[in-house]
């Protein structure tokens, strides 16, 4: 049975990671996973949250948002509603955790880096695109801190990338677009480190419970797919200097 | 190496699921996992959210809260701060998803059941205790709807229970208390159905990425532990009629 | 004419004040007035509000909340609505005032004690049960401060207890439950000190204005009822050491 | 001992109730109690809150506010802070209860009357001035409904007026200004009906508990003082037609 | 064609600027433009916003509000809705800008002056009345700072006054009341300095675009009208000392 | 004296209006004024605000936002702060008014079109770029409604475009970038219709009052600049069909 996107089970969408797209940000990356476009910027600040003051340690945090018409039908603007929804908070907590897991906060010194991941256009997999792109922006910002002498060693201890996988019509598939995601029986997001360690797994049986076999098939897809993403990330970072 | 709680790796805490603890609620269960105590109540309403009106279908949703001094040091009251935090929203979304995954919303008719899971005392694993107890409260509320003739067939298609597992000092362990949870390298929550299907996995490498082997060890622990919880759930339900 | 609860006019419900119910709080008391159950915890903090900084004085304040299904039909969660209602604010201001009236803030030193009064189950008279139980929690917390040497003299200068009274079918009655409260013509709350001084009176003619004679009858009932509460309070405090 | 205001214990401040001060409102009254000035307007609406729809009954409610510089030092604007404080909510609930206690909601038909009580200048006793003035505004609005034929009988079944009393230096005194109020040992607000029935009592021992004798002395003062207010109210109403 | 108000095109309403109307404020002015009544108070504070701390400079800012029944039909209270609307924020930003444009913030030293402009009654032109009256309140507050020796030179470098003008039935008219404003084709607000410099222009074609000729006619009206306002301002200031 | 941008006084930045940039929106335009990039999308809804229901008329409204790192230093996310600031509300009200001034709401029928103007990158003049681009998005959305037969005649009665002008070092200049804007003495925004009618003027003397002569010079610049914008708008619309 063919996927709605006509891709093979392990085939990723056309993916580009374009660094240096922002005039002002210390690091930036426009991550395009097919029609999903997420603008990731890294902003370096000289002050850390109060719980870290005078500890010599830094902090990395993330915020996530969607433009109102990034979605198929318009979504109300969270600023106008007066609060961020549960899904938004959940995603930005995930992005922050993922990035901190590969950051040496002591090497960062008392700097805070905020990653803003804003979805310009959505077609499934925005959170995994955000993590993948935010790593590029963060890495570039760290390089600049190093180059400027503000810090003396690289705080990024590893790479992280993320991929959404799922079970669609009984078949494990990688990098679902919206049409696939909304009809999948199982929906999962995997965050991996460059050596294929598992940083975070979020897997949900939307229609029915899933099996360990299905989990393992999805893990295999995430493993292979993130391998491609890690290469693209390094290429984007290198290309920006 | 011995766990802080002196339990074996697969040993659960003293767990009780006490049904019928609320004077007013249609279903209720006080779930005690050691010193973690979560009061779960099910409230049946005759009206559904607007997106389900006139569809003949019902809805199940959950809210989660912690009493300010359920925690080791006092946590600010969310009602006083004027909003629910990201962790709260994330947990209540998880509880709702887990319960809906085993509810036949058509059999429920146009009723909404709200599960309130309030942490009276916290010592690790509140979200998994909440899911496990909320299923009992929900099932009892459904039984009452059946007995009263408001619905004609059982909406609960299966059981769900949940367990937190982790990797502590390199050892996979089940049902972590706070002292273990705060020093674990890997932290995971598993929601399972009675036939051991996977309903939801949330696994995070807190200190370092984790391996597939560790994931499988934790899955084994969750499998065995939830087996015990399923029995306690049925006993609590049966004892309340 | 017989009260709905079949009690005599001056007869209180079955009342228990159970101290030491919280694992974490510096002081705690579960106040049960019949089916009304209020969990009161005292949390000691080393810092005072800014208006008291460097004055050598402490502060005592209270917060009040109801679990959503503590009530007959479910009440929306204040944290979800994004603000505390007028009734909640009014009650917590009352609890704080009552407790501060018997606290020597100078003897307390620069500590703040927060009393959280959470209604686990409601059946009338929650605010008076809260005051009565909160005093127990506060006193225990102060004893612990004394025992630890953090302060050198007892800050609690007196006891306070509170009782709801009303006029039901023309008869002054004490300690109304919900069935009585909702059909009473006059509704009043009295806060008394151990020597029967009046700390606070809130009296409302719900259906009609009331007379001074009725006010005096209710004052007599409050006087006698609080006498019983003061003994229970001391027994609960003594039993917890 | 002489009161700061040099008045006798039972002497009220210079009080004027000026009706018809608002170009737009259906009823209005500027209540001046010495330097305390409260503008009260009554706004009639043709729709009632949803819980009264199709019951044939109306509703009376109140809102209270203080201009930022009505107070000695500037108070932050509640609209700017984004919420009404506990004191504000408490006062507006009191005003609403007091007015509803003398309104026949069935005679009012399905109209809602909102009383806005805005403190233009504050010098103690704003809530009692607000109740006294709001009754005038409400009565005038009701007269207009009668004159227009929108309703067929008078909904105001009685008058209500309110007075603050207190114990200052051991002496019961009436109508405290700010200088007296802030140094009083006991602070009380009394709402009375025209036949001297008690509609609401709020009495607080600020510095120390108070006695029944003191309560009775304050009740006597409130009785006499409200007698004068009832006459002023009727004169203000009559003068506006 | 005659204006609804029967005034000539350049004729202002009956305008009075009454200084010293507030017991507590350091400066105050009740600005009456016909039936539009705006109470302006100036509150002096010894601390400045954080961005000015230790710069030796002061700040002037404004807040604007409308009493709920200042308007023809009742407007919901912003404090009750929990936020200030866009119109309110726009107006108070305008008032603050206008006043700061004629204040020497260095001469003001590290003081902040807050201008509260509260509309007691509205009949068109509230923002221009607010600016005109707020200048008087601000100037008086500055005089008091000078007299008290808190500052050593006058911070007010110039006067500002404001007037609303419009095009009504093709005719440029000054100082529109509500009946005119709501039927005008073009609506404009002009803020001028005493030498007729333009401080701010806000002009909107409500029904249709407008021409430069119309703009010039309105500018002429504003010029002449503000001339009268400047005289009234100085008279109000002088009369208050 | 040369402008910081080295442009002549009347020279606009490199401007492009790129239509059709959004996969989902009914109309879209990415307006680039030099380094200022604003994404404008038009979303058509079948329901109108309640005040227009059953009137046969439609509505056009706008929302404005800035990505957190669109600015030189990072700006806090309004969704995270829980409210839209005064500047944001002011700008979106301006955009909505400008577009409605050239829309025949009756021809639009009972449709609402929401224009979202999101600043991807800011370098001065975002509001004028937003108006200019939003018109393109709106016009395209209207064309689609016509083509689909949902409406039968063109609701856009005219074009609107907007340009910021200012006085910089005594010289009137057009289309200021951020470096110019932040050092200009006078700052103005002009919204014009295609026949050069004035739709809205907002002009502020930042440093000093300005003269009529300066106003006229800026009007001349706006006139000429908008002429170029009108052509680009039509080209963008035509190119998208």
pLDDT digits (tens, 9 = 90+) for A17-40: 999 999 999 999 999 999 999 999
Closest CA to A67 of A125, A133, A120, A22: A120
Interchain pair C212, D202: CB under 8 A:
no
Residues 15-74 of A with CB under 8 A from F: 22-25, 28, 35, 39, 41, 43, 45, 63, 65, 67-74
- Residue whose entry in the numeric block shows the structure tokens 């180059």: A147
Q: Given E24, E39, E79, which is nearest D78 (Cβ)?
A: E79
The CA distance from F237 to the nearest CA of chain A, in Å, is 20
Q: Does C106 touch chain B (CB under 8 A)?
A: no
HSE-up of B95 (CA within 13 Å, CB side)?
35
**What single-letter DSSP state applies at residue E55?**
T
Distance of CA D192 to the CA centre of its chain: 11
Q: Does D177 touch chain E (CB under 8 A)?
A: no
Tokens of E218: 């309105």
pLDDT number for residue C229: 98
Q: Does F146 touch chain E (CB under 8 A)?
A: no
Best F43, F65, F72, F79 member to test A by mutation, with max A CBs in 10 Å, is: F79
Distances (CA, A) of D28 to B18, D102, D124, D141, D239: 59, 18, 21, 8, 12
Mean pLDDT of chain A, nearest integer: 96
Closest residue of chain F to A66, computed from CA coordinates = F67
Residue contacts between E and F (CB atoms, under 8 Å): 85
Instruction: For residues D34 and D13, give the distance between their C-alpha atoms in angstroms, rounded to a whole number.
Output: 5
Which residues in chain C have their CB less than 8 angstroms from residue D200's CB? 203-205
In chain C, beta strands by DSSP E: 15-19, 27-33, 36-45, 59-66, 112-121, 160-168, 171-174, 186-193, 198-205
Give the rounded percent of residues in chain F with a pLDDT score beyond 90. Answer: 97
Taking residues B117-143, report their average pLDDT.
98
| DSSP secondary structure letters along chain F | ---TT---TT----EEEEE---SS-SEEEEEEETTEEEEEEEEEES---GGGTTTT--EEEEEEEE-GGGSSSPPPPHHHHTS--HHHHHHHHHHHHHHHTTB-TTTT-S-EEEEEEEEEE-SS-HHHHHHHHHHHHHHHHHHHHHHTTS-SS--B-S-EEEEEEEEETTEEEES--HHHHTT-SEEEEEEEETT--EEEEEEEESSS-B-HHHHHHHHHHHHHHHHHHHHHHHHHHHHT-
Taking residues B80-106, report their average pLDDT.
96
Q: Which chains touch B (3 or more CB pairs under 8 A)?
A: A, C
Q: What angle do CA A188, A113, A99 make, to 5 degrees?
A: 25
| ipTM above threshold 0.90 | yes
pLDDT number for residue C185: 95
User: Starting at the edge strand that comes first in sequence, how are the strands of the sheet with D186-193 ordered?
Assistant: C171-174, C160-168, C186-193, C198-205, D198-205, D186-193, D160-168, D171-174
pLDDT number for residue D112: 98
Instruction: For residues F234 and F241, give the distance between their C-alpha atoms in angstroms, rounded to a whole number.
Output: 12
Interchain pair A39, F67: CB under 8 A:
yes
Interchain pair C121, B23: CB under 8 A:
yes
Taking residues F180-197, report their average pLDDT.
95
Instruction: For residues C136 and C236, give the distance between their C-alpha atoms in angstroms, rounded to a whole number.
Output: 7
Which residues in chain A have their CB less than 8 angstroms from residue B217's CB? none
Taking residues B118-136, report their average pLDDT.
98
Which residues in chain A have their CB less than 8 angstroms from residue B193's CB? 209
pLDDT number for residue C205: 93
Which positions ≥6 away from D191 have C-beta within 8 Å? D94, D98, D128, D131, D160, D161, D162, D198, D199, D200, D201
Mean pLDDT of chain B, nearest integer: 96
Whether C48 shows a pLDDT value over 90: the answer reads yes
CB F22 within 8 A of CB F113: no
pLDDT number for residue D130: 98
- Residue whose entry in the numeric block shows the structure tokens 């040993």: B11
CB E43 within 8 A of CB E114: yes
Distances (CA, A) of B8 to A17, A212, B64, B173, C150: 47, 25, 30, 8, 40
pLDDT number for residue C173: 98
Q: Does C81 touch chain D (CB under 8 A)?
A: no
pLDDT number for residue A206: 84
Give the rounded percent of residues in chain F with a pLDDT score beyond 70. Answer: 100
Q: Given E93, E208, E219, which is nearest F90 (Cβ)?
A: E93
The CA distance from C193 to the nearest CA of chain D, in Å, is 7
Q: Given C197, C203, C208, which is nearest D210 (Cβ)?
A: C197
Q: Does D199 touch chain C (CB under 8 A)?
A: yes
Q: Are strands B15-19 and F112-121 parallel, antiparallel or unpaired?
A: unpaired
Instruction: For residues B144 and B135, give the distance between their C-alpha atoms in angstroms, rounded to a whole number.
Output: 14
Taking residues B15-20, report their average pLDDT.
98
Instruction: For residues F208 and A197, give the distance between their C-alpha atoms in angstroms, rounded to a whole number.
Output: 62
Closest residue of chain B to A195, computed from CA coordinates = B209
CB F42 within 8 A of CB F103: no
pLDDT number for residue A241: 83
Q: Given C93, C198, C215, which is nearest D198 (Cβ)?
A: C215
CB E204 within 8 A of CB E90: no
Closest CA to A203 of A214, A190, A188, A192: A188
Interchain pair C212, D198: CB under 8 A:
yes
Whether C68 shows a pLDDT value over 80: the answer reads yes
Which residues in chain F have their CB less than 8 angstroms from residue E188's CB? 201
Q: Does A194 touch chain B (CB under 8 A)?
A: no
Taking residues A218-236, report their average pLDDT.
98
Mean pLDDT of chain C, nearest integer: 96
Tokens of A107: 């090497």
Instruction: For residues E63 and E134, give the distance between their C-alpha atoms in angstroms, rounded to a whole number.
Output: 10
Q: Given D22, D70, D82, which is nearest E83 (Cβ)?
A: D82
End-to-end CA distance of chain C: 44
Instruction: For residues F34 and C202, give the distance between their C-alpha atoms in angstroms, rounded to a whole number.
Output: 67
CB B65 within 8 A of CB C79: yes
Which residues in chain B have their CB less than 8 angstroms from residue C119's CB? none
Which residues in chain F have their CB less than 8 angstroms from residue E208's CB? 101, 197
pLDDT category, F189, cuts 50, 70, 90?
Answer: very high
pLDDT number for residue C66: 98
- pLDDT tens profile A176-203: 999 999 999 999 999 999 988 999 999 9
Taking residues D51-74, report their average pLDDT.
96
Which residues in chain C have their CB less than 8 angstroms from residue D212's CB? 198, 216, 219
pTM: 0.94
Tokens of B78: 């969310």
Strand (E) or helix (H) holding A146: helix A126-148
CB D197 within 8 A of CB C210: yes
Interchain pair C120, B123: CB under 8 A:
no
Which positions ≥6 away from E92 have C-beta within 8 Å? E62, E63, E64, E117, F86
Distance of CA D92 to the CA centre of its chain: 9
Whether D228 shows a pLDDT value over 80: the answer reads yes
Q: Given A193, A202, A219, which is nearest B209 (Cβ)?
A: A193
Cβ count near E158 (within 10 Å): 18
Q: Given D93, D188, D201, which is nearest C90 (Cβ)?
A: D93
Best A79, A95, A117 member to test F by mutation, with max F CBs in 10 Å, is: A79
pLDDT number for residue D1: 75
Whether F1 shows a pLDDT value over 80: the answer reads no
- Residue whose entry in the numeric block shows the structure tokens 């913030």: E105
Give the rounded percent of residues in chain E with a pLDDT score beyond 90. Answer: 97
CB C47 within 8 A of CB C99: no
Q: Which is higher by pLDDT, C52 or F196?
A: C52
Cβ count near A170 (within 10 Å): 9
Q: Does A116 touch chain F (CB under 8 A)?
A: yes
Which residues in chain F have their CB less than 8 angstroms from residue E86's CB? 86, 89-90, 92-93
Mean pLDDT by 10 residues, chain E (241 residues): 92 98 98 98 95 95 98 96 94 97 96 98 98 98 97 96 97 97 96 95 93 98 98 96 82
Taking residues F203-230, report their average pLDDT.
96
- Residue whose entry in the numeric block shows the structure tokens 């002023």: D232
The CA distance from E86 to the nearest CA of chain F, in Å, is 5
Beta bridge partners of A114: A43, A61
**Which backbone phi and psi does D239 adopt, to 5 degrees?**
-70, -10
pLDDT category, D111, cuts 50, 70, 90?
Answer: very high
Interchain pair E219, F198: CB under 8 A:
no
End-to-end CA distance of chain E: 44
Tokens of A165: 């996988």
**Which backbone phi and psi does E72 adopt, to 5 degrees?**
-55, -55
Calculate the dihedral angle through the C-alpha atoms of B6, B12, B13, B15, rounding to the nearest 10 degrees.
-170
pLDDT number for residue B196: 85
Q: Given D87, D198, D212, which is nearest C209 (Cβ)?
A: D198
Dihedral sign for Cα B207, B212, B216, B219, please. positive
Q: Does E100 touch chain F (CB under 8 A)?
A: no
Count H helices and E strands in chain E, helices first. Answer: 5, 9
Strand (E) or helix (H) holding A193: strand A186-193
Closest CA to B183 of B203, B168, B163: B168
- pLDDT tens profile F144-181: 999 999 999 999 999 999 999 999 999 999 999 999 99
Whether F230 shows a pLDDT value over 80: the answer reads yes
Q: Are strands E112-121 and E59-66 parallel, antiparallel or unpaired?
A: parallel
Interchain pair B209, A198: CB under 8 A:
yes
CB E95 within 8 A of CB E64: yes
Closest residue of chain A to B219, computed from CA coordinates = A212
Whether C1 shows a pLDDT value over 80: the answer reads no
């Amino acid at each position: 049975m063919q996927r709605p996107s006509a891709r093979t089970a392990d085939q990723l969408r056309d993916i580009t990671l374009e660094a240096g797209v922002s005039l002002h940000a210390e690091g930036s990356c426009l991550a395009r996973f097919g029609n999903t476009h997420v603008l990731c910027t890294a902003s370096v600040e000289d002050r850390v949250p109060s719980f870290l003051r005078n500890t010599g340690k830094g902090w990395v945090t993330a915020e996530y948002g969607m433009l109102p018409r990034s979605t198929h039908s318009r979504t109300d603007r969270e600023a106008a509603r007066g609060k961020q929804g549960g899904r938004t908070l959940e995603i930005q907590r995930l992005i922050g955790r993922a990035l901190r897991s590969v950051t040496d906060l002591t090497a960062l010194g008392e700097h805070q880096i905020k990653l803003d991941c804003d979805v310009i256009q959505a077609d499934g997999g925005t959170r995994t695109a955000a993590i993948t792109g935010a790593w590029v922006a963060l890495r570039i910002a760290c390089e600049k801190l190093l180059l400027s002498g503000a810090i003396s060693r690289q705080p990024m201890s590893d790479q992280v990338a993320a991929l959404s996988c799922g079970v669609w019509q009984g078949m494990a598939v990688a990098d679902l677009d919206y049409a696939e995601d909304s009809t999948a029986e199982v929906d999962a997001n995997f965050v991996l480190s460059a050596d294929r360690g598992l940083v975070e797994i979020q897997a949900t049986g939307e229609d029915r419970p899933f099996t360990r076999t299905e989990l393992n098939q999805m893990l295999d897809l995430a493993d292979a797919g993130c391998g491609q993403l890690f290469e693209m990330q390094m290429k984007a970072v290198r290309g920006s200097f």
